[in-house]
Structure 1
Amino acid sequence: MLLSHLSASVLKISDIYAAEHGIDRDRDWALLKLQEELGELTAEHLRLSGRARGEADPKALADEAADVLGMLLIYCDGAGIDLEQAMRDKWLKWLAVER
């Protein structure tokens, strides 16, 4: 699945979620939610590495990673960032560099 298709699906789901819960999803909200999800990913990582209390669950780690990506896609959409192009410009350019 292309990132643009994934992003479109995530945005549809976000629309449904916002409508059901009466949430105004401005850029500020998306960035704050991204930070919240990163904190939850960090907590699961700590549990899995034995550095936090609670039951370690690899599925929960994967779920939180998906939440981080989903919120990043939502943030980028609201900020007018073409994430696919940004990745080509920032990261993938290094594949073309002769070593």
Structure 2
Amino acid sequence: MLDDLMKAFDAASRRYAEAHGLTRDPDWFVLKLHEEVGELTQAWNRLSGRGRPKGRSVEDMQRDLADEAADVLGHILLLAHANGLDLAAAVERKWLFRPA
């Protein structure tokens, strides 16, 4: 399951990078992840009242949080895929369950 998700995110990321002339070098994967975590934090701050809502409704802010969480998930999977990491084994080791 995780391998399939990694491959799907990688294909989408490759298409995006090619369309926008981006180079996905080894640093890019961790730097993009860091950027997305920052955006997730901003979305959380807005939703939790710690940041300016910028005219966004609660529903919009909840959608923003979900969108940014999806970006973080995608970039974690991209980083793992680019570095040949076995996330399923790591989840089993660290979280003590086998992902389906």
TM-score, scaled to structure 1 = 0.86
Offset of residue 27 of structure 1: 2.0
* Aligned residue pairs, count: 92
Q: Which has the higher contact order (CA 8 A, sep 6+)?
A: 2
Q: Which runs of 5+ in 1 are unaligned?
A: 94-99
Does 1:77 pair with 2:78? no
Q: 4+ residue runs of structure 1 moved beyond 6 angstroms?
A: none
2:71 aligns with 67
Q: Which residue is equivalent to 1:7?
A: 6
Q: Pairwise CA RMSD of aligned residues?
A: 1.2
Q: Distance in 1 between matches of 2:66 and 2:51?
A: 17
Q: State the TM-score, normalized to the length of structure 2.
A: 0.86
Candidates 83, 86, 90, aligned match of 2:94: 90
- Is the Cα contact below 8 Å between 2:7 and 2:81 reproduced in 1? no
Aligned identity (percent) is 48
Q: Match for residue 44 of structure 2? A: 45
